[in-house]
């Protein structure tokens, strides 16, 4: 009973950006199973995840917004407040990746990756932080970083993605220190290669090459990220803020 209360999210409202597929969809389902009311924020296709959660007996709603648009994010969060009255948890999961060498990548493509992965995380975190601080909510924010924020992936070249995720890790630490006195904890999670459309759509030879570099010799399952995120957003990690949790099958040990 003690652990159930420590890790449980009953009565909490959790927002997941980019929750229409992949890691975001799996994390959203995990939060719902822990008792949270879950809000899926996506540019489109919010209903698939909402339906999955509801069919399993959970509570969920969807809001459409582009995380790079402050206006759209603010409007979406207002809908959440109208529906549930609070926002306790944010999982900043929305992100994109482009596999291009530096010499091939245009400045426009570079900016696009940083705009979604970094600026989008900033916009959502700031909007949620304003609500939490204004209402005295002792909230939790988890930003989706990546092991690519700590290492350089091979054989694919993705300087924009790597740079954006390194920045997300440091943004997390910065927000954690700014908001610690307001009772808001901010942490990040850095997955390694996870079997989602973003990674499995790669050419087979590319996947074979990087799997050989993973000590566990396999990609992770998105469900293997859920326990870490549940710990971060629950009372179980009440003394933890500004930390980055790497879940990568041992890749960054090499």
Q: What is the pLDDT of residues 111-150, one digit of tens each?
A: 999 999 999 999 999 999 999 999 999 999 999 999 999 9
pLDDT in tens, 66-113: 999 999 999 999 999 999 999 999 999 999 999 999 999 999 999 999
User: What's the half-sphere exposure (Cβ side, CA atoms, 13 Å) at 124?
Assistant: 35
Residue 253 belongs to a domain = no
- Name the catalytic one among 165, 188, 237, 251: 165
174 is catalytic: no
* Cis ω before 155 (30° cut-off from 0): yes
Rounded to the nearest 10 degrees, the angle between the axes of helix 47-55 and helix 22-33 is 30
- Name the catalytic one among 12, 146, 160, 237: 146
CA dist 148 → 32, 38, 51, 78, 168 (Å) = 28, 28, 32, 33, 11
Count the domains in the chain.
1
Q: How confident is the model at residue 200 (pLDDT cuts 50, 70, 90)?
A: low
Kindly tell me the burial class for residue 248, based on how many C-beta atoms sit within 10 Å of its own C-beta (0-12, 13-18, 19 or more): buried
- Name the catalytic one among 37, 160, 161, 193: 161
d(CA 199, CA 193): 7
The range of the structural domain enclosing residue 111 comes to: 2-247
- Would you state the structure tokens that stand for residue 207, as one six-digit string? 């996947």
Query: Domain containing 38 — which CATH number?
Result: 3.40.50.720
12 is catalytic: no
Q: What is the pTM of this model?
A: 0.96
5 is catalytic: no
């Amino acid at each position: 009973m003690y652990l159930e209360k420590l890790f449980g999210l009953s009565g909490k409202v959790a927002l997941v950006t980019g929750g229409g597929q992949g890691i975001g969809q799996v994390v959203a389902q995990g939060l719902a199973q822990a008792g949270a009311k879950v809000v899926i924020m996506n540019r489109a296709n919010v209903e698939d995840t909402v339906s999955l959660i509801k069919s399993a007996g959970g509570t969920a709603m969807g809001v459409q917004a582009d995380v790079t648009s402050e206006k759209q994010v603010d409007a979406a969060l207002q809908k959440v407040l109208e529906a549930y009255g609070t926002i306790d948890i944010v999982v900043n999961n929305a992100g994109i990746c482009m596999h291009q060498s530096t010499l091939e990548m245009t400045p426009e493509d570079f900016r696009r990756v940083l705009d979604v992965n970094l600026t989008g995380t900033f916009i959502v975190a700031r909007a949620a932080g304003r609500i939490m601080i204004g209402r005295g909510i002792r909230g939790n924010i988890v930003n989706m970083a990546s092991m690519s924020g700590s290492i350089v992936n091979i054989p694919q070249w993705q300087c924009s993605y790597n740079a954006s995720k390194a920045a997300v890790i440091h943004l997390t630490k910065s927000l954690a220190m700014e908001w610690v006195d307001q009772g808001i904890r901010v942490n990040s999670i850095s997955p390694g290669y996870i079997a989602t459309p973003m990674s499995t759509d790669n050419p087979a030879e590319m996947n074979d090459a990087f799997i050989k570099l993973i000590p566990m010799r396999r990609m992770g399952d998105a469900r293997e990220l859920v326990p870490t995120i549940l710990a971060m957003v629950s009372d179980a990690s009440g003394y933890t803020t500004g930390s980055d949790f790497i879940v990568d099958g041992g890749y960054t040990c090499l």
